[in-house]
Amino acid sequence: MGAKLINRNAVKGGAAARRISKSRRHYRVRKHINGTADRPRLVVTRSLRNIFAQVVDDTKGHTLVSASTLEETLRSAEGDKKDQARKVGELIAARAKDAGVTQVVFDRGGNAYHGRIAALADAARSGGLEF
């Protein structure tokens, strides 16, 4: 996106301004968050329809486990988007525990810790992940 190179006055209002603001927030958050082999990064990505979660070891650049609402088991899940986010959080916690990961660093990206992001994080915590 190149958000750090974009002038603040270049885009005023609308979807483009929101997208640029989100990319700036994401850049600010990522400056301070790094995952290691002992404590990988739990990355949450949200679109209008789906939510994705990955546990990433940044030292190697590998994704250890992932879960999303696009999977067959969750695609036909009942409930609203918050309920689906909770199910993704429970699934990512179970898969991370199977992979031997108990502690993670939570990376919310440029999203506010609210709604679906908070629901996924709370479900992952209740599933046994520590962050």
Domain tally, the chain: 2
115 found inside a domain? yes
Q: Tell me how far apart the alpha carbons of residues 38 and 87 are, in angstroms, rounded to a whole number.
A: 25
Q: Domain check: are 39 and 22 in the same one?
A: no
Per-residue pLDDT of the chain (131 residues), as tens digits, is 444 445 555 666 788 888 888 888 888 887 888 888 899 999 999 999 999 999 999 999 999 999 999 999 898 878 899 999 999 999 999 999 999 999 999 999 888 999 999 999 999 999 999 99
Q: Domain check: are 19 and 59 in the same one?
A: no
99 found inside a domain? yes
